[in-house]
Structures are given as structure tokens and as C-alpha cells.
């Protein structure tokens, strides 16, 4: 079976901490397991992600089209790393820029990473995979600084469901997982075996959810659209 893109949200997830400082609940064995306490803003914040996105509870609006620059370019030198929490991709051959919609500036892709079992739910349903395409507002020089400002980061989150139709971009990533899955390979980047175009990870964006949220890993900074 294969995973195909089901829905698009604009949300959040970036890690600025070491792998041994925090952890996730074991959703594989118990999807009702309570989430651990990470401390600080993660526990006390008022705009924390992830959330349950509900169609009936969403305020409907209309924006200009989102603009994706260079997302269709095949990236031939992508690096993949197992950072202890996720698989992360970086090293883009071309600068990928997101603009339009309700965004007031241009946002540049910094990295892509994955969550097996989606962090967000839609109408109370959790999906097998969520891919996060992390963007930095180009008025800030790096992600650390961008995380200090409410307009600092945009993350496109794509939720996937199982299908008999393969997603070629996901297939390229899966093909290289064997090189990074062991404990000894953690934090050691490898080249992704096949090139892929980032827009192959993204479904139609005519309709999507968007909200003001946070990073979904410590420090849980409330700096994310």
C-alpha cells in the first residue's frame, strides 16, 4: 500500500533541542496515551500546535492564490538525516519560495520533515503520515531569530492516507530510509537516492486550513502560521 496526500494545512513543527531531552507518546500502541509534559511554553502557551482541525468549526475565508516558486524543480542533492525524532531533508539545489495567500512576506523553505502518525487531526481523525515543509520569513537571517517573531515561520503540513496509487516523492524518501534508520546513523546525513520535486509532496491548495500556532517541538515558540 502507498501513502497519498489527503489534505493541506499551514501549520508548524521545528526542533531546536537535543534528541534525548524530550519524547513522544507511543501512538502505535495507544492513540489515547496522554502527551508528556515538556515544560515552559509547551505547557503554558495559548496558541499551541497541533490541534484538531474541524470543518464545521472553521471560519471560511477567501485569499489570493498561494505562489510556489521552484517547488517543481527536481532536487538532485537532497540530504536526509535521522535526528532522533524524525527524518529531515535539506540541501535544496534551488531556493524554494512561498508567497501569496494571506502571507505578507516571502518565505523560504529551510527543511522538510515527517511525523509517522499525523500530529494534526481533521474532524478527529488521525492519519498515518504528516509531512511538514518548514519556511522562514526571509526578513530574518535564520530560524533561531525567526522563532522570536509571530510572523517568523510558515509550515505547510500535508496529511496522507493509504492508497494503492504511489506518491513518487514519498517513494524516493522511503528508498533511502535504510541508510539512516539505525541508532548508529543518527545525526549523520546521507544523500537521498533519487531526486524529487517538492510540489509532488503537496496536493491541490485551492482549499486549506490556516491558523496561528506554534512549533510542535520544544521550545514550542508561538511564531508559526
Domain boundaries, the chain: 2-16+36-210
Return d(Cα 170, Cα 84) in angstroms, integer. Answer: 20
Secondary-structure class of domain 2-16+36-210 per CATH: alpha beta
Please tell me whether residue 169 adopts helix, strand or coil conformation: helix
Q: Tell me the backbone φ, ψ of residue 110, rounded to 5 degrees.
A: -100, -45
Q: In what helix (H) or strand (E) does residue 44 lie, and over which residues does it extend?
A: helix 41-44
Which pTM value belongs to this model?
0.88
What is the distance between the alpha carbons of residues 7 and 159, in angstroms, rounded to a whole number?
5
CA distance 54 to 56: 6
Structural contact between residues 147 and 16, judged by C-beta atoms closer than 8 angstroms? yes
Residues paired with 196 in a beta bridge: 75
Q: Burial letters for 11-46: b for 16+ Cβ neighbours within 10 Å, e otherwise?
A: bbbbbeeeeeebeeeebeeeeeeeeeebeebbeebe
Residue 136: partners with Cβ closer than 8 Å, 6 or more residues away: 107, 108, 110, 142, 143, 146, 152, 153
Instruction: Supply the DSSP symbol for 59.
Output: P
Encode the chain (225 residues) as per-residue pLDDT tens digits.
Answer: 444 444 555 444 454 444 447 777 777 777 777 878 888 899 999 999 999 999 999 999 999 999 999 999 999 999 999 999 899 999 999 899 999 999 999 999 999 999 999 999 999 999 999 999 999 999 999 999 999 999 999 999 999 999 999 899 999 999 999 999 999 999 999 999 899 999 999 988 889 999 999 999 999 999 999
* Helix ranges (DSSP H) in 48-183: 143-146, 168-175
pLDDT tens-place string over residues 33-50 = 787 888 889 999 999 999
C-alpha distances out from residue 16 to 21, 22, 58, 126, Å: 11, 11, 31, 25
Q: Report residue 72 as a C-alpha cell.
A: 517543481
Contact 47, 36 (CB under 8 A): no
User: How far apart, in whole angstroms, are the C-alpha atoms of residue 107 and residue 96?
Assistant: 8
Amino acid at each position: 500500500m502507498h501513502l497519498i496526500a489527503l489534505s493541506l494545512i499551514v501549520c508548524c513543527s521545528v526542533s531546536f533541542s537535543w534528541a534525548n531531552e524530550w519524547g513522544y507518546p507511543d501512538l502505535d500502541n495507544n492513540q489515547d496515551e496522554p502527551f508528556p509534559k515538556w515544560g515552559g511554553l509547551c505547557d503554558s502557551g495559548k496558541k499551541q500546535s497541533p490541534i484538531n482541525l474541524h470543518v464545521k468549526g472553521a471560519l471560511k475565508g477567501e485569499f489570493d492564490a498561494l505562489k510556489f516558486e521552484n517547488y517543481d524543480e527536481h532536487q538532485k542533492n537532497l540530504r536526509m538525516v535521522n535526528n532522533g525524532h524524525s527524518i529531515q531533508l535539506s540541501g535544496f539545489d534551488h531556493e524554494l519560495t512561498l508567497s501569496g495567500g494571506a502571507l505578507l512576506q516571502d518565505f523560504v523553505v529551510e527543511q522538510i520533515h515527517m511525523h509517522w502518525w499525523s500530529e494534526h487531526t481533521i474532524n478527529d481523525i488521525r492519519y498515518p503520515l504528516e509531512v511538514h515543509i518548514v519556511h522562514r520569513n526571509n526578513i530574518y537571517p535564520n530560524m533561531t531569530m525567526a522563532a522570536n517573531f509571530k510572523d517568523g515561520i510558515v509550515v505547510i503540513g500535508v496529511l496522507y492516507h493509504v492508497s494503492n496509487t504511489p506518491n513518487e516523492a514519498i517513494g524516493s524518501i522511503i528508498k533511502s530510509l535504510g541508510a539512516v534508520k539505525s541508532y548508529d546513523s543518527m545525526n549523520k546525513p546521507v544523500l537521498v537516492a533519487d531526486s524529487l520535486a517538492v510540489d509532488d509532496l503537496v496536493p491541490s491548495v485551492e482549499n486549506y486550513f490556516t491558523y496561528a500556532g506554534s512549533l510542535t517541538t520544544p521550545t514550542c515558540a508561538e511564531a508559526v502560521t
